[in-house]
Structure 1
Amino acid sequence: MSRPGGVGNEYLPWLIPGFALVNLVVFALLWLGGAIAVAVTGHGWQPAPFTLEVYLSLVSGATGEVWPQVPPYLVYGGAVTLVLLGSTPAVVLARGLVRRLREPRSLARSGELSGLIGKERASRARDLRPSLKDRPRLSPDDTGNLLGDLVPAGPELRSSYEDVELDLMAPRAGKSTGIAVPRVLRAPGAVMLTSNKSDVFTVTRQERTKVGRVWTFDPQGIAYTEREMWWDLLSGCDTIEGARRLAGHFVSSVNDDSSKKDFWIAAAQNTLTALFLAASRSGESVNELLGWLADPADRTPVDLLRDVGMAAMADQLQGTVRGAVETRDGIYETARQCVACLLDPEIVAWVSPDPDRPEFVPDEHVLGRDTLYLLSKDGGGSAAGVIAGLADAVIRAGVVAAERMGGRLDPPMTAVLDEAANVCRISDLPDLYSHLGSRGISVVTLLQSYRQGVRVWGEAGMDALWSAATIKLLGAGLDDADFVDKVARLVGQHDVRTPTYSRSRDGSSRSVSYRQEQVLPADKIRALPKGTALLLATGVRPALIRLRPWYKEANAGMISAAARAEVQAITERAAERWSRRESGQVG
């Protein structure tokens, strides 16, 4: 019980009018429900007097004393009908109020996200894609990339195909099911996916075959696919820039933090640049290039560079060859370690000309609706340098094609760089991000943490990548305390209302004060539920969204059946391959 003079006793006087209001509502329902029942049964409009005697008769069940011509069940049925009719708008209003109260305080609401919703999004899509201007109606996938639903109950949010995205989430937080798979399935144009697992491949491959050709580049047997294509590794190395970029990808695959290159790494990149250039300009193969690396005294690449008019590059390579033996051998050994994956004949076969299989040409791929899966293991012996080289070739081909189209690809190309820090270390990716979106190349880079990106691109590179991304999704399981604290500061603070009650001899009083608190403290950001993400979009306040996993969409049953068939095919191919290896056959 509340003590005399306590806060609880302040509300006791309200019990009397509250009780009177309840009786009034009950009386009104029974009175009006009975009158309607009399009218419906053909006895005309006969409202009863609004008196205490009538109320007691209706409450006690003696409706015959008021309306003798109407059965009691019709009177009470009319009252129940009124309750049901009146409760519908009340429930809608209550749900709206509850949803409003459940919305994260001080985070963006639907009114602030108009650029990611509805008509404004469609208008922007028409401006970016000339092919949509004459279409009377656009499908949602024509207007942008699906991000998810605004918490707690929508609406659906989509980014523009001009946006470039950076997603940070821990393993099993929804990167594949909620981001990678939907992006591949819904892409309107060409697709490129990198991964070190076969999960996205198995779910999406069958669906992508319905819209275009599927190319699977799987040199290490992630999905145990047979080799049905080849890509000319040296095709883009006929210029110094192209040769240096390819060399940089191989160097980055073995060198954490590409911004920190010691003497041996830098010298190895210079040497590989010269060798790639010599092989490409002279039409030599990758195996010939490996032979030059194995024998530093071989003058063939120097002579080939001179023959094609690259005298300065030839002199530089010759200076390395003629230097101190210890220095020369150290440089060449470092270079050999960078391209060690090419010693595997199964990997080399994927990047060497093969007259019996079709060649993958990046310049053609970016103009259609084909799909390229780039699969590689991470860790020792990975083909990450080859994967990064091919991914970079596709992106550069997209940029060139966009320039020929007047500025942007139409339809836009989707590049999902899953496990980018492990299997697709494009050394200058932070620099590329700043303009890829404006070229119609929608890039999504998926990392497990901010620190993982720092390990590959360095602090400055990761900061540049973070700043250039116009859409950032931060999911569950981010354990980097410094980074999460930084995000909490970016989300900002809000005023928290704090009521205070005090009591004295003269009575009780109530006052209100305000204090500043973080909208989302670091511990809440770290503890975001799986399947949700904090959305940081350029120009609007942060918002909390719920990802849309592919298996919760309307066509999930059909996709699941195709995925099961794909998994079964992989299992059979794996068993066949291991059987061949046990019997002494290669491949």
Structure 2
Amino acid sequence: MSGSNATKGRMYGSELAPWAIMLVTGCFLVIFGGIWLGGTMGAAVTGAGWNPPPFALETLATFTTSGPGKLWPDTSVVGVAAGIVLLYGTVTAVGVLVTRKVMRFVSQPKGLAQRRELASMGPAGIAERARDLRPSLKGREHLHPDETGNLLGDLDPSGPELRSSYEDVELDLMAPRAGKSTGIAVPRVLRAQGAVLLTSNKSDVYAVTRAERERAGTVWTFDPQGIAHAPRAMWWDILADCHTIEGARRLAGHFVASVNDDSSKKDFWISAAQNTLTALFLAAARGKASVLDLLAWLADPADRTPIDLLRDVNMGAMAEQLQGTVRGAVETRDGIYETARQCVACLLDPEIVTWVTPDPRLPQFRPDVHVLGKDTLYLLSKDGGGSAAGVIAGLADATMRAGVVAAERMGGRLDPPMTAVLDEAANVCRISDLPDLYSHFGSRGINVVTLLQSYKQGSRVWGEAGMDAMWSAATIKLLGAGLDDADFVEKISKLVGNHDVRTASVSKGKEGTSRSYSYRLDPVLPADRIRALPKGTALLLATGVRPALIRLRPWYKEADAGRISAQAKAEVEAITERAARAWTGNTGVEAVADVNVSMWERGAVPQHGGG
């Protein structure tokens, strides 16, 4: 055995000897070459001229024994030493940068889309597409990047920037604190070319973007629950679109969806309540009654006023249906009316209902006018019990449908396009048929971006079928950090696909060493790697191309971040001051500041320019 081990040792030693010789030689060349070139450069810079010593072992020995003065006479030792140090430092820095780039390239998953495949989303490709979609850009040679499409981010690792076209609709799934606000919502609002609609249950995006959007047009803030404590400076006629059965049913559907966790599962009471609300909304709109009148009708099912109003406007079938509900079994009637009352319970709050009833002292928000300009509409509401989600969904839906009508009058598409960022859509903007409208909005120049925390969150609101429809209709999908749904992430891994991995096998024999290769299929992005995507990155799934990894572009890393950050800080202070005035009996501004500081902690508003 000992003889066999000795033989193996000699074999390994003979194989490693050439590599050891090359390693020693390489180290010698690096050390001596740095001394020789750096010293010569240092001597030349200090005035001794370019007089390199011989490139030989004797030179290294002389440098070691006698110092640099023997090799570079009549020059400063400090200059020679500085040249050597500077050369080594420069080479080391370049080597580190090159190594990092190489390692980053090597670590990139093989099988994802690269620059050539994404050319249609790059600067040149997206500009050409914009000229086709926007008549106002035809004939213009130079376009601002924001005129050509919506910024998605930079292709990882080194660009270029990628944009979606103005006929794309987007679905983004990211966990909290993964960059939805800073990397998607805020940049979309700031860069929008036309009218803007934003829904949210927080004031962070509002605080960052409001001042900047005021430079583009009028800012309308619909804040019935005091998310940003904005004073009421507008009103919206909630019954404006209820003169038709379709409009009344859509509004009733928004209120029903706000209390029904799955719009695809409506029991008898929910469906009956929606029918009753449809009739009451229609009666109120046609009969020129108010929302307060409607609430009174709901409180007293025996009140025949809505039935009479429907008959007066030749809506006999609807009147008979409502009368049938009223004349039904008392238990059934009361159950239907109680369910309907629960659906519109938020309108019992006078602070909410004043925003949706006419007020001659304030300007009226008109969706049909809004979509034609560059104004901004902020729709803010709390989620959970007592929220104004039904009202928010109704106004958002009315605005987007007004955009569709305006696009049809323009010949097919809005120009400039409208941007609708539905942040926290599953909580405050439950438009029941949003999945069905997705592709239609895109063809009309209405860029809808729906932000959800997970696929399951959307499924709880729109059902599995509805969420599948939205997923299929979205031409752009961004999947960010923190997706913890194992089944969903596994499906995404399969969608990304597999790639060939070459494995080397080495065998040793009497004839020598032989090497063979075999191939196996591995996932391009395993499920665990998708779940562990770093914050600020996202997996891009675009129609017609392979998936790609992108780096989001947070607003606070852009060139104008300093100015916007200062404006955002001032807005946060204003919100804090308004909150302090609203909270009667509070200990003071400091207590409110503790609440608003969370906006800074989330990174939505960096505490200094550039963040």
Do both share a fold (TM > 0.5)? Answer: yes
What TM-score does the superposition give when structure 2 sets the normalisation length? Answer: 0.86
Unaligned runs of 5+ in 2: 588-611
Unaligned runs of 5+ in 1: 583-587
The equivalent residue for 1:211 is 216
Q: Distance in 1 between matches of 2:548 and 2:486?
A: 21
For the residue of structure 1 that corresponds to 2:266, the secondary structure is coil
Whether the 8 Å CA contact 1:5–1:507 is kept in 2: the answer is no
1:399 maps onto 2:399 in alignment:
no
Whether the 8 Å CA contact 2:151–2:164 is kept in 1: the answer is yes
Q: Which amino acid aligns with 1:436?
A: F
The alpha-carbon deviation at position 310 of structure 1 amounts to 1.4
Bigger mean CA offset, 328-337 vs 49-58: 49-58
Q: Distance in 2 between matches of 1:40 and 1:346?
A: 77
1:473 maps onto 2:478 in alignment:
yes
The alpha-carbon deviation at position 153 of structure 1 amounts to 3.0
Q: Distance in 2 between matches of 1:573 and 1:388?
A: 26
Bigger mean CA offset, 430-439 vs 554-563: 554-563
Whether the 8 Å CA contact 1:99–1:153 is kept in 2: the answer is no
Q: Which structure 1 residue ranges, 4+ long, deviate > 4 Å from structure 2?
A: 5-9, 17-96
The equivalent residue for 2:600 is none
The equivalent residue for 2:245 is 240
The equivalent residue for 1:371 is 376
Q: Distance in 2 between matches of 1:428 and 1:121?
A: 30
Q: Distance in 2 between matches of 1:375 and 1:50?
A: 74
The alpha-carbon deviation at position 343 of structure 1 amounts to 1.0
Q: Distance in 1 between matches of 2:189 and 2:255?
A: 27
1:323 corresponds to which of 307, 316, 328: 328
The alpha-carbon deviation at position 578 of structure 1 amounts to 2.1
The alpha-carbon deviation at position 561 of structure 1 amounts to 1.9
For the residue of structure 2 that corresponds to 1:201, the secondary structure is helix
Sort the Cα spacing of 1:7 and 1:473 in 2 relative to 1 into closer, same or farther, 3 A. farther
1:574 maps onto 2:579 in alignment:
yes
The equivalent residue for 2:284 is 279
Whether the 8 Å CA contact 2:46–2:76 is kept in 1: the answer is no
Q: Distance in 2 between matches of 1:149 and 1:427?
A: 34
User: Alpha carbon RMSD of aligned pairs, Å?
Assistant: 3.4
2:297 corresponds to which of 292, 296, 314: 292
The alpha-carbon deviation at position 54 of structure 1 amounts to 8.2
1:429-461 deviations in whole A, cap 9, x for unaligned?
000101211211111101111011111101100
Whether the 8 Å CA contact 2:109–2:525 is kept in 1: the answer is no
Q: Distance in 2 between matches of 1:345 and 1:422?
A: 22
Aligned length: 582
1:540-571 deviations in whole A, cap 9, x for unaligned?
11112222222222222222222222122112
Bigger mean CA offset, 158-167 vs 102-111: 102-111
The alpha-carbon deviation at position 161 of structure 1 amounts to 2.0
Q: Which amino acid aligns with 1:155?
A: P
The alpha-carbon deviation at position 508 of structure 1 amounts to 3.4
Q: Which amino acid aligns with 1:101?
A: V
Whether the 8 Å CA contact 1:107–1:543 is kept in 2: the answer is yes
The aligned runs of 1:544-583 (5 Å cut-off) are 544-579=549-584
Whether the 8 Å CA contact 1:29–1:79 is kept in 2: the answer is yes
For the residue of structure 1 that corresponds to 2:400, the secondary structure is helix
1:343 corresponds to which of 348, 351, 368: 348
The aligned runs of 1:155-166 (5 Å cut-off) are 155-166=160-171
1:485 maps onto 2:496 in alignment:
no
The alpha-carbon deviation at position 83 of structure 1 amounts to 8.8
Q: Which amino acid aligns with 2:560?
A: N
Bigger mean CA offset, 359-368 vs 66-75: 66-75
Sort the Cα spacing of 1:508 and 1:235 in 2 relative to 1 into closer, same or farther, 3 A. same
The equivalent residue for 2:392 is 387
Q: Distance in 1 between matches of 2:560 and 2:483?
A: 31
The equivalent residue for 2:203 is 198
For the residue of structure 2 that corresponds to 1:535, the secondary structure is strand
The equivalent residue for 1:543 is 548
The alpha-carbon deviation at position 156 of structure 1 amounts to 1.9
Q: Distance in 1 between matches of 2:328 and 2:239?
A: 27
Sort the Cα spacing of 1:203 and 1:71 in 2 relative to 1 into closer, same or farther, 3 A. closer
Sort the Cα spacing of 1:161 and 1:67 in 2 relative to 1 into closer, same or farther, 3 A. same
Q: Distance in 1 between matches of 2:178 and 2:72?
A: 66
The aligned runs of 1:8-407 (5 Å cut-off) are 9-16=14-21, 97-407=102-412
Sort the Cα spacing of 1:347 and 1:581 in 2 relative to 1 into closer, same or farther, 3 A. farther
The alpha-carbon deviation at position 187 of structure 1 amounts to 1.0
Whether the 8 Å CA contact 2:273–2:339 is kept in 1: the answer is yes
Whether the 8 Å CA contact 2:506–2:514 is kept in 1: the answer is yes
For the residue of structure 2 that corresponds to 1:304, the secondary structure is helix
Q: Distance in 2 between matches of 1:325 and 1:290?
A: 19
1:478-536 deviations in whole A, cap 9, x for unaligned?
11111111111111111222222333444433322222111111122112222221111
Q: Distance in 1 between matches of 2:477 and 2:339?
A: 37
Sort the Cα spacing of 1:547 and 1:50 in 2 relative to 1 into closer, same or farther, 3 A. closer
Q: Distance in 1 between matches of 2:26 and 2:253?
A: 79
The equivalent residue for 2:603 is none
Q: Distance in 1 between matches of 2:288 and 2:365?
A: 18
The aligned runs of 1:512-531 (5 Å cut-off) are 512-531=517-536
Whether the 8 Å CA contact 1:104–1:544 is kept in 2: the answer is no
Q: Which amino acid aligns with 1:161?
A: Y
For the residue of structure 1 that corresponds to 2:249, the secondary structure is helix
Q: Distance in 2 between matches of 1:327 and 1:45?
A: 103
1:534 corresponds to which of 536, 539, 563: 539
Sort the Cα spacing of 1:506 and 1:336 in 2 relative to 1 into closer, same or farther, 3 A. same
Q: Which amino acid aligns with 2:297?
A: W
Whether the 8 Å CA contact 2:39–2:80 is kept in 1: the answer is yes
The alpha-carbon deviation at position 37 of structure 1 amounts to 11
1:437 maps onto 2:442 in alignment:
yes
Q: Distance in 1 between matches of 2:426 and 2:350?
A: 25
- Percent of aligned positions that are identical: 72
Q: Distance in 2 between matches of 1:35 and 1:476?
A: 52
Bigger mean CA offset, 265-274 vs 460-469: 265-274
The equivalent residue for 1:585 is none
Sort the Cα spacing of 1:8 and 1:336 in 2 relative to 1 into closer, same or farther, 3 A. farther
